[in-house]
Amino acid sequence: MIEISDNAAAQINEMLSSLDWQNVFLRVGVVDGGCSGLSYDLRPDDTKTEDDLTFEEKGVPVIMDAKSAEFLVGLKIDYKVQGMTGGFTMDNPNVRASCGCGASFRTATYRGNVNKC
């Protein structure tokens, strides 16, 4: 489904373990937004629904809403350090266009209104 690099897995597991939640997952998804149509939703979550897909990648417990899955198949999440800062990067083979700053994207199958949050 998705791939998480060793560097990203280490960062994510450190982040999740620092939370005082009984069950904690990495929620990966997309939401409508940005100038290209979709934005990534990557955050800790302690609640999963019956519509969520669940799996583990490199020790990271992941949940993903079923509506986001078609836009994220093959996604590669990495963590890169540049200078004194670091951050997560997303390499998504489904992206056909993205905005200039890279915060949002569009796929060939995107027709708007993926998730109304």
Three-state secondary structure of 49-85 = CCCEEEEEECCEEEEEEHHHHHHHCCCEEEEEEECCE
Model confidence at 116: pLDDT above 50 = no
More confident residue, 85 or 33: 85
CB atoms within 10 A of CB 30: 28
- Average pLDDT of the chain, as a whole number: 87
Domain boundaries of the chain, sorted by first residue: 3-18+25-107
Residue 117 has a pLDDT of 37
What stretch of H or E contains 39? strand 38-45
| Across 14-18, average pLDDT | 94
More confident residue, 96 or 54: 54
pTM, two decimals, is 0.83
Q: Which CATH superfamily is domain 3-18+25-107 in?
A: HesB-like domain (2.60.300.12)
